[in-house]
């Protein structure tokens, strides 16, 4: 039998928060009254638990809430009062089989961070490794279960009075419960963290905290400790104009512009290359390490993008940069679903007007710096337009919007003059150059040539066995083999030159046709030469140059 007492207690807390922030303020003079979005944010922060997580999720759902609410909810902070160290010791004993002082060489009593789901303690392993031990709060699962029940009940009421009678709120709560439940299982977070660490382990500007499996369970997650400056502390110093902190920060060789650019670059790598990205990039989860290297922790919310979606959203960004608005709209519409009666043609028209305004401005000419505008303001208006037309983004598109908005907000806080998509052209060029360099790497070239030589040798041997041992044909085959090798090297060289020219002119725009055209000419030339060689082969008369092959005996 379910125990509804915790739910009742939680409901009383919610009613008290509602009275404090939404009923009592109505009795105060309006000049002293904070806006409703601000009061909602403060109320959610006081409730903590699943309500903070829900607020963070709603911050990206411009299809459910007005823009001013979403913008304010983006500022939600997940901070909570630490739970007692005695409780920490007992959880460690249950999960790891011994008290902290037995499992670790040293273990700090005071946590370095405390949030609604867990708190983090610094520890030192017996082998000298510095560790961050994340310990789940007691009874947090029961509290989240109570919050889920209340949220689901409220969603029924909201959908009941929805003009379209669509079950948008219930669908949101169901999806929210699914991914927050996964976040409560630290084994899932450990798998996410390990996967991200594998992607970034050879990256000189990106470090993900390595998971220490022997000290990790369902309720405890242990990773390497990040010895750096928490980005949240840097942003607080910027807001408070703490010149002592900022001067010391600069004196130690840290560069705010370089940090902003590297956060953007790492974000693009995760999104467009790895197809697996950190979906909770708030400043508390990012560290600045020596050399302006960026470190990441807390992998509870990570997202996997399908190859199809990644390719589509990459085309969407590229079309926007190139000024191909109609194609960009077509790509985005692929990932929208109607939540009620809607006119898709009208939405597409409105979206085209919105994108044209950002891409071309009022001059009607392509603005080469318009990629700077492909950030928060455009996305917010984009999602507000979806809400007005009763269109709901797919989960992947919602995750993409959330990641872009969060990353752009972080970058803006560090260096307001820099925008998330400033370097997107350079990134796409570098990414394609990396792919080309990988293809032409020594190992791949040796493998390709070795395979080609082996196949050519096998082909020659097979034909020799079938046609006899005529000297003319043998020499001709060896010559053909040499020709094919030379033409293969020529094709590789041509492709290299074509790509070098393409990279010099940029990854997008008119130069995009240079590489495709150059490679096409390579293919056509190679096919023509192969066809000519085939003609030469067919022109050889076997009876004039090769001995007769005797018939098999009866």
List the catalytic residues: 280
Instruction: Calculate the alpha carbon distances from 419 to 322, 413, 548 in Å.
Output: 18, 10, 76
For the chain, give the number of residues: 554
Three-class SS state of 255:
coil
Return d(Cα 117, Cα 136) in angstroms, integer.
6
Q: How far is 311 from 330, CA to CA, in rounded Å?
A: 14
Give Cα separations from 35 to 27, 38, 167, 455 (angstroms): 14, 5, 28, 74
Kind and range of the H or E run holding 69: helix 67-73
Beta strands in 137-214 (DSSP E): 206-208
Contact 332/310 with Cβ under 8 angstroms? no
Segment 305-313 long-range contacts (CB within 8 Å, at least 24 positions apart): 305/271, 305/275, 305/276, 305/277, 305/396, 305/399, 305/400, 306/275, 306/396, 307/275, 309/335, 309/396, 309/397, 309/400, 310/271, 310/272, 310/275, 313/271, 313/397, 313/400
User: Residue 414: exposed, middle, or buried by beta-carbon count in 10 A (0-12, 13-18, 19+)?
Assistant: buried
How many helices (H) does the chain have, and how many strands (E)?
22, 13
| CB neighbours of residue 171 within 10 Å | 14
Query: Regarding beta strands 293-296 and 206-208, do their DSSP bridges make them parallel or antiparallel, or are they unpaired?
Result: parallel
Of 294, 530, 260, 264, whose CA–CA distance to 415 is shortest? 260
- Rounded distance between C-alpha atoms, residue 14 and residue 208, angstroms: 37
């Amino acid at each position: 039998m379910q125990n509804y007492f915790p739910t009742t207690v939680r409901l009383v807390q919610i009613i008290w928060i509602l009275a404090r922030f939404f009923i009592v303020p109505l009795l105060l003079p309006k000049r002293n009254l904070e806006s409703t979005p601000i009061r909602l944010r403060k109320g959610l922060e006081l409730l903590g638990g699943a309500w903070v997580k829900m607020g963070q999720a709603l911050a990206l759902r411009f299809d459910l809430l007005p823009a001013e609410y979403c913008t304010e909810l983006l500022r939600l902070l997940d901070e909570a009062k630490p739970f007692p160290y005695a409780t920490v010791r007992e959880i460690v004993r249950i999960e790891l089989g011994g008290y902290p002082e037995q499992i670790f060489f040293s273990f700090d009593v005071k946590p370095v961070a405390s949030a609604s789901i867990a708190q983090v303690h610094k520890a030192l392993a017996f082998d000298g490794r510095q560790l961050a031990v994340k310990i789940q709060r007691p009874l947090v699962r029961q509290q989240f279960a109570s919050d889920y029940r209340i949220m689901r009940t409220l969603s029924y009421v909201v959908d009941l009075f929805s003009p379209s009678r669509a079950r948008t709120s219930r669908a949101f709560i169901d999806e929210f419960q699914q991914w927050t439940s996964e976040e409560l299982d630290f084994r899932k977070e450990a798998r996410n963290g390990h996967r991200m660490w594998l992607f970034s382990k050879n990256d000189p500007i990106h470090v993900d905290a390595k998971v220490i499996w022997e000290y990790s369970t369902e309720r405890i997650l242990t990773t390497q400790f990040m010895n750096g400056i928490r980005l949240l502390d840097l942003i607080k110093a910027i807001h408070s104009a703490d010149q002592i902190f900022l001067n010391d920060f600069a004196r130690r060789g840290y560069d705010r512009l370089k940090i902003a650019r590297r956060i953007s670059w790492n974000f693009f790598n995760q999104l467009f290359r790895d197809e697996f990205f950190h979906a909770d990039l708030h400043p508390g989860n990012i560290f600045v390490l020596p050399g302006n290297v960026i470190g990441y922790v807390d992998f509870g919310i990570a997202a996997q993008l399908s190859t199809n979606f990644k390719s589509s959203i990459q085309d969407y960004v590229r079309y926007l940069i190139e000024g191909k608005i109609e194609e960009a709209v077509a790509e985005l519409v692929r990932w929208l679903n109607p939540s009620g009666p809607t006119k898709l043609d009208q939405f597409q028209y409105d979206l085209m007007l919105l994108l044209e305004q950002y891409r071309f401005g009022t001059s009607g000419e392509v603005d080469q710096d318009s990629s700077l505008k492909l950030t928060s303001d455009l996305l917010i208006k984009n999602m507000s337009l979806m809400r007005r037309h009763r269109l709901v983004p797919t989960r992947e598109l919602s995750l993409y919007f959330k990641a872009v908005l969060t990353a752009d907000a972080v970058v803006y806080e560090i260096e307001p003059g820099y925008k998330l998509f400033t370097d997107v052209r350079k990134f796409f060029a570098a990414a394609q150059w990396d792919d080309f360099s990988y293809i032409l790497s020594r190992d791949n070239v040796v493998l390709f040539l070795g395979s080609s030589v082996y196949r050519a040798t096998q082909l020659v041997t097979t034909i020799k066995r079938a046609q006899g041992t005529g000297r003319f044909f043998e020499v001709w085959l060896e010559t053909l083999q040499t020709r094919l090798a030379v033409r293969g090297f020529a094709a590789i060289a041509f492709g290299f030159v074509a790509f070098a020219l393409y990279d010099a002119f940029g990854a997008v725009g008119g130069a995009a046709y240079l590489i495709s055209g150059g490679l096409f000419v390579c293919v056509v030339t190679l096919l023509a030469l192969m066809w000519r060689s085939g003609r030469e082969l067919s022109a050889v008369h076997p009876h004039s140059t090769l001995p007769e092959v005797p018939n098999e005996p009866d």
